[in-house]
Amino acid sequence: MPTAIVTGASRGIGRGIAQELARTHQVIATYRGRLDAAESLKAETGCEIFRCDIASREDRAALIAFAREKFGRLDLLVNNAGIAPRERRDILEASEEIFDEVLGTNLKGPYFLTQLAARWMAGQGDGRIVFVTSISSYTASVNRGEYCISKAGLSMAVSLWAQRLAQAGVKVFEIRPGVIRTDMIAAVEKLYEERIANGLLPQRRMGESRDVALAVRAIADGLLDYSTGQVLNVDGGFHLRGL
């Protein structure tokens, strides 16, 4: 059975991805703070759970070491872990501390976790890597600039790793979710529902974690193996432009 790592898998999009992959993969699901949520995922799916702060060099190394010891190979890495800024502030007032915190988890962490996984996969001669980014990679929100910058950087990381790893047989993809029903948008969920009903999205419903999980499924099953570097917009058509 192939092996997958899904970061940030205790809740939200990551949990949906881990639930889907557990049908066909041995899954290591990482979490940072919510042990209770991680344990419930393990009880539900049989996933291995592993505490990992993606922003920590030591935690990233420990995660890869655990995967090597437990399963001996790695077929799929899903870089999903991410955080929103603790405080939404206009970019004229935003703090460096929150900027560093967000970029450490959302950009630096996945970039260097991918470096570790990529070396391993290149030695195997195959593998797939997924970065879960956001429509915020190209949509400016001036009250959470650090989040937008982190996701824009992650989009470039996809291109870089796809280019570098293609000849090694490792395929790299970007999944770009739109408005997805998760804890991250709970405070503004009602506002988004109203905006969607008024035409924000061509497909007039909010996305669910399963929508993203099914895009990962297509990648995991090898259906896009001749499309390295591809961006999958899971956003109800938000990216479309029309007059």
Partners of residue 109 on adjacent β-strands: none
End-to-end CA separation in angstroms for the chain: 48
Strand 127-132 and strand 170-177: the pairing is parallel
Catalytic one of 31, 111, 138, 147 = 147
Active site residue 31: no
The CA angle 147-101-13, to the nearest 5 degrees, is 55
Chain position carrying tokens 């570790």: 116
C-alpha–C-alpha distance, residues 130 and 229, integer Å: 10
C-alpha–C-alpha distance, residues 212 and 179, integer Å: 11
Helix (H) or strand (E) holding 76: strand 76-79
Q: Report the interhelical angle of 12-21 vs 35-45 (nearest 10°).
A: 20
Burial letters for 102-129: b for 16+ Cβ neighbours within 10 Å, e otherwise?
bbbbbbbbbbebbebbbebbbeeeebbb
Active site residues: 147
